[in-house]
Amino acid sequence: MINKYGGRCGACDSWVEAGAGRRIRVGDDWGSYHPGCAPARTAPPRGDHAGWHDLPLVGFDLEGTQREPMRTRIVSAALTFPDGTQRTWLVDPGEPIPADATAVHGITDDLVRAQGRPAREALAELGTAVAKLIADTTPLVAFCAGYDVTALHTELARHGLPPVGWEQAVVVDPSVLHREVERYWSGGRQLGDLCTYYEVEPGTAHEAASDARAAVGLARSIAARHERIARMPLAELHQTQARWHAEQGRDLQAYFDRTGQARQVSLEWPLETADRD
């Protein structure tokens, strides 16, 4: 975070003007640092404890046309499996893909028209595959799971397809886990940022299969470094993540309100039921 007040740099001991540096927690203490003096953070060491991170996990990711999950149209999706295989879907949403969305994931109108499958056909297959994993009690790993879960749920309903029984699912969300174990985090929170911190291969950003694999690696790495997370029974972990997400969301909403940002944070996880706008 930006340093609100001036102070001496914790590294070079020269003065850091208010707003010109970073305020960072190192151990139990906070300090101000020049941007170039900020200490590199390293993740806790991996332990040798057992836990759910030793179990088979399936990665889930999708890309869409909008930031809001209840408004987006899915254009690609992937499931990645413990044996190294994957299933991917390129989807023609039936409407133009906004340029800002294409700038993120690289998927164009021409690509989905030439190679994509009709939305209803592809989504029916994706929904069936996810539902089977849930029925088989296979844990699903998704980074910022609220987007992926809500987008799929909304799209299935939009096309008149059977819903997925998310109430029976076990979802592991590395973004929620990270915010819980690193409560004073001041760095980037995107998937690539956290992969660097937790020493996980990030792959190609915003490519569904690559992001799904990275999410699984990130979940395993966090659990390997935090025994209390790893030893939680998966059903308990799922419910606890919902509580953590709500707590984290209330803190973020308070920040937005305090700084005059007209943004609405959903406290629901992993399935959002209310549009944020």
Place 277 in a pLDDT band, splitting at 50, 70 and 90. Answer: low
Q: What residues have CB less than 8 Å from 182, skipping those under 6 apart?
A: none
> Does residue 92 or residue 186 have the better pLDDT?
92
φ, ψ for residue 140, nearest 5 deg = -105, 135
At 152-193, the pLDDT tens digits run 999 999 999 999 999 999 999 999 999 999 998 878 999 999
If you classify domain 42-277 with CATH, what class do you get? Answer: alpha beta
Domain ranges for the chain, please list them. 1-40, 42-277
Residue 29's DSSP bridge partners are: 26
Would you say 180 and 222 are in contact if contact means Cβ atoms under 8 Å apart?
no
Mind listing the pLDDT tens digit for each residue in 188-207? 999 999 999 999 999 999 99
Amino acid (one-letter) located at 105: H
Burial class (CB in 10 A: 0-12, 13-18, 19+), 203: middle
pLDDT of 276 over the 70 cut: no
Taking each helix axis from N to C end, the angle separating 208-225 and 174-181, rounded to the nearest 10 degrees, works out to 30
Inter-residue contact 242 to 269 (CB < 8 Å): yes
